[in-house]
Amino acid sequence: MPSFKNKTIFITGASRGIGKAIALKLAESGANIIVAAKTVEEDARLGGTIYTAAKEIEAAGGNALPVKVDIRDEEQIRQAVEEAVKTFNGIDIVINNASAIQLTDTEKTEAKRFDLMFNINVRGTFLVTKHCLPYLKKSANAHILTLSPPINMDEKWLDKHIAYTISKYNMTMLAMGWAAEFRKYNIASNTLWPATTIATAAVKNLLGGDTLIQMSRKPEIVADAAFYILSKAAAVCTGNNFIDEKVLEAENITDLSTYAVNPGGPLYPDLFL
């Protein structure tokens, strides 16, 4: 199996859910993980803090640096990157996972929620990558992986929650732009998105409760897909919009039943697929 020993990975939103699952997967092969997230006191509805995630990462075999950072604040991003480099002497991989969601139509989307989604999903993703870039340029196999969907302009993806949709599509446009812009530096940039809903606090609390959780897959499917993407040579794996199950199929992993919360039960397709 590929090894991430001595590789340093900056993951936004890594205190829980998909971000933490990716961190734990990479930690199993010895990675250094920067847990860049806001949560320092646990919320019973969400679970996890940067400190509890760091303990799990270290127990899994990695090294962890928990850093409180709100990616809406550029100075906090800058300080987090500086602390990461001071601790681990560089950054090899950036995973843009942090995201805000609000599935409302135009009339019901308040300005503050619109701003929240764009400040985190778009501006935050841009600034995290910008400040990590000088160190990615020095890495032997640098990757940027952004958790966002393929762009599909069919109106059914636009008419129900346009503000959220375009914020996520902006993340994908950034990732594809970076694939072109950073190719000369041998920095890969790709996106990754799940084929089904994933059993996270957001799905439970905001989308469909326990019913939808039972029709979802575990975050580990996205983590395993990320592991294989990030294992590739940057020069030959860039500019792709990956779907988790397709990544695993390419690795000859076709039995995905173990990823289901309810093996054998129905699965709910992701809202963008």
12-38 tens-digit pLDDT: 999 999 999 999 999 999 999 999 999
Position 1 in a domain? no
Q: Residue 187: in which H helix or E strand, if any?
A: strand 187-193
Summarize the confidence of residues 7-14 as an average pLDDT: 97
Q: Give pLDDT tens digits for 227-255.
A: 999 999 999 999 999 999 999 999 999 99
Position 55 in a domain? yes
Position 53 in a domain? yes
CATH code, 209: 3.40.50.720
Amino acid at 92: D
Position 267 in a domain? no
Average pLDDT, the chain: 94
Amino acid at 137: K
Cα separation, 36 vs 14, in Å, equals 6
Position 268 in a domain? no
Full domain range(s) for residue 75: 8-259
pLDDT of 101 above 70 = yes
- What is the structure's pLDDT at 43? 75
Give the residue numbers annotated as catalytic, written as ranges. 164
Q: How many domains does the chain have?
A: 1
Report which of 48, 127, 36 is spatially closest to residue 83, judged by C-alpha positions: 36
Position 177 in a domain? yes
pLDDT of 156 above 90 = no
In DSSP terms, 10 is beta-bridged to 34, 94
Position 248 in a domain? yes
Q: Which residue has the tokens 């059993």?
A: 199
Cα separation, 47 vs 117, in Å, equals 21
Position 273 in a domain? no
Q: What is the pTM of this model?
A: 0.96
Q: Which is more confident, 73 or 210?
A: 73
Q: Are 136 and 234 in contact (CB under 8 A)?
A: no
pLDDT of 108 above 80 = yes
Q: Which is more confident, 211 or 193?
A: 193
pLDDT of 77 above 90 = yes
